[in-house]
Amino acid sequence: MIGQQFGRLVVAFRDWQHSSPFRPYAPTWLCLCECGRLVMVPESALVRREREDCGQCGVNGNLRIE
């Protein structure tokens, strides 16, 4: 997974600290967004394309700029 790109996110490394001990088969990854922010994303959200950016890209106040 490391180095793979999903939308605006590039997988940097596995976040072992935030992976659930009850679900070790569902890892969490620390990803770098194109805007420069780091975000933790479950692997399932990456693979299913449910999460493709940090959620803050282009945000000005509470309005998202498209």
Residues 56, 15, 6, CA angle at the centre, nearest 5°?
50
Q: What's the pTM value of the predicted model, to 2 decimals? A: 0.74
pLDDT digits (tens, 9 = 90+) for 36-52: 899 999 988 999 999 99
Residue 10: pLDDT band with limits 50, 70, 90: very high
Cα separation, 38 vs 66, whole angstroms: 20
Instruction: Quote the number of domains for the chain.
Output: 1
| Residue 43 structural domain | 5-64
Predicted confidence (pLDDT) at residue 65 exceeds the cutoff of 50: no
Percent of the chain with pLDDT over 90: 48
pLDDT at 5: 96
Give start and end residues of each alpha helix (H) in the chain.
43-47
